[in-house]
Amino acid sequence: MGPFVRLIWVKKVTGLENIPMKGPAIVAFNHQSYFDFICFIAVTPRNIHYLSAEKFLKNPIWRFLLKITGQIPVIRKSRDKRELHDIVYQHLSEGKIIGIFPEGTRADDNTTMLRAYPGVARYAIKKKVPIIPVGIVGAFEVLSRHENFPKFKKIVEIKIGIPI
């Protein structure tokens, strides 16, 4: 799927060298679209284990995508997130990369950023791992919150920042 996504949509990637080839890290993304994580998976050489809303497990297509890409379900309604935190800490201890959308959900438009949750900082501080900021531009135009199928003839740009 990666070559297809790169051919059709992802036309520019800067900072790919900022993704470590080994060792743990947290990648923190802006969240415009369900297409965000698909675009990043298509360009990075490392497997990213994203935190993903449990609602995707109900849809067989999304469930399949989440399973084959090793995503971590987040039970949003649960107040007790200890199991989730333990899974994230274990993944980081194993040298894996965790992908987090700090806003927790997508905004209604492509210009608004929602309030960020503190999980990124919590995980990074506890496990002493770098945070790699990533901006994805154009994913909203490909697949907005209000659409079910991606549009063609739209371009996505990915900007990967220096680890902090």
Structure tokens at 109: 């438009």
124 within domain boundaries: yes
pLDDT tens readout for residues 121-154: 999 999 999 999 999 998 888 888 888 889 998 9
Mean pLDDT of the chain: 88
154 within domain boundaries: yes
103 within domain boundaries: yes
Alpha-carbon gap, residue 3 to 8, rounded angstroms: 9
134 within domain boundaries: yes
Residue 111 is classified by DSSP as S
What is the structure's pLDDT at 73? 86
Quick one: average pLDDT of 94-101?
Answer: 96
pLDDT tens readout for residues 35-54: 888 889 899 989 999 998 88
Range of the domain at 112: 2-48+74-160
For the purposes of burial, counting CB atoms within 10 Å of the CB of 137, is it exposed (0-12), middle (13-18) or buried (19 or more)? Answer: middle
Q: Which residues of 28-62 are buried (b: 16+ CB within 10 A; e: fewer)?
A: bbbbbbbbbbbbbbbbbeeebbbbbbeebeeeeeb
Beta carbons within 10 angstroms of residue 86's beta carbon:
10
60 within domain boundaries: no
59 within domain boundaries: no
pLDDT tens readout for residues 66-92: 888 788 988 877 778 899 999 999 999
140 within domain boundaries: yes
Overall domain count for the chain: 1
Structure tokens at 78: 């649960």
Quick one: average pLDDT of 94-105?
Answer: 90
pTM of the model: 0.88
